[in-house]
Amino acid sequence: MNCDLHTHSRASDGELEPLELFRRAKANAVTRLALTDHDTIDGYLELDRLLSAGDEQWDGELVAGVELSAHWQGRSCHIVGLWIDPASSPLTTFLSGQRQVREDRAEAMDKRLQKAGISGALAGARELAGTAVLSRPHFARYLVGAGHCANEQQAFKRWLGRGKCADIGCRWPPLAEVVDVILSAGGIPVLAHPDKYSFTRTKLKQLLADFVDCGGAALELLSGRQQANVTASLLRLADEYGLASSLGSDFHSCAQHWCDVGSMGELPAAAVPVWTLPAASPSPQPVASSL
Ligand code: AMP
Ligand code: MN
Ligand code: MN
Ligand code: MN
């Protein structure tokens, strides 16, 4: 069983259309795939519809997922929701709110960029985003395309990253609210990429304690390409806080060949896989009437 439970499509800041992402996963022998776009399930819904039409042969499970942006102690953190009910009304209401937060943030970012002498960033980012949720990588792509910098990484380093001029602070809902919305949609809240926040171990432990307190159930033991010592350390934390383990590439684009879809291998034998939790059941299929 090759699982990838954290991926992005064009519905958020990924490069591939949901179906293209699925085909790449299938080609890489993934048998359990979660599409976890930032703050939207539009890509998942599209892919689920296409797969339900039966044109793609695949002996695997598509997991309903999402990656929600949250606020914790002045920082943003990401909570992946897996096996969510996409029809949950608290969830869909929450996602509309996130879209609005992103729109408001984008306007504030545009003003900051204008002050820094860059015009047209909001319009440019909107055009690149199309119907996707508007995110910083769309601004980064605009800045690269308009010749302000050489690559997206530079755009984050100079304008968009933490503490830079277009960082307008964290406006996401609190961690507890985000975890709660996932639980109310019947899903499993998973702390995404715990090693990517650059927290001290003490601070990461505080985050884990708060996460568990409000109902968090798992952490991403393997995220993209990761050093073995990081995995070992996270496994100890998962054990200490009674968390199950997930894994995902956090795939965004084909250029990131070092963390391709389904490239993380397997969870260590000592980990409790997130798919063994009771809430990890495939969504019920319509039962054919026998009448
Ligand atoms: P947002 O959700 O709009 O705040 O954008 C966050 C996304 O930007 C992340 O999920 C990454 O895909 C991307 N990102 C964050 N930091 C960087 C960086 N330093 N370089 C390139 N992309 C980044
Ligand atoms: Mn992203
Ligand atoms: Mn993330
Ligand atoms: Mn992600």
| Atom 6 of ligand 1, residue of closest alpha carbon | 136
Q: How many whole angstroms from 98 Cα to the centroid of ligand 1?
A: 16
| Residue 82, strand partner residues | 65, 188
Average pLDDT score over the chain = 96
Question: Which region among 60-64, 98-102, 248-252, 253-257 has the lowest average model confidence (pLDDT)?
Answer: 253-257
pLDDT of residue 282: 67
Distance 146 CA to ligand 1 centre (A): 19
Rounded to an integer, the average pLDDT of 132-156 is 98
Please give the average per-residue pLDDT across 80-88, as a whole number.
98
Is the predicted pLDDT of residue 185 greater than 50, yes or no? yes
Mean pLDDT for the stretch of residues 254-277: 95
Ligand 1 contact, 75 CB (< 6 A) = no
pLDDT at residue 291 in the model: 47
pTM for the model stands at: 0.96
Q: Is 38 in the pocket of ligand 1 (CB under 6 A)?
A: yes
pLDDT at 290 (0 to 100): 46
For ligand 4, a single-atom ion, which residues have Cβ within 5 Å?
67, 250
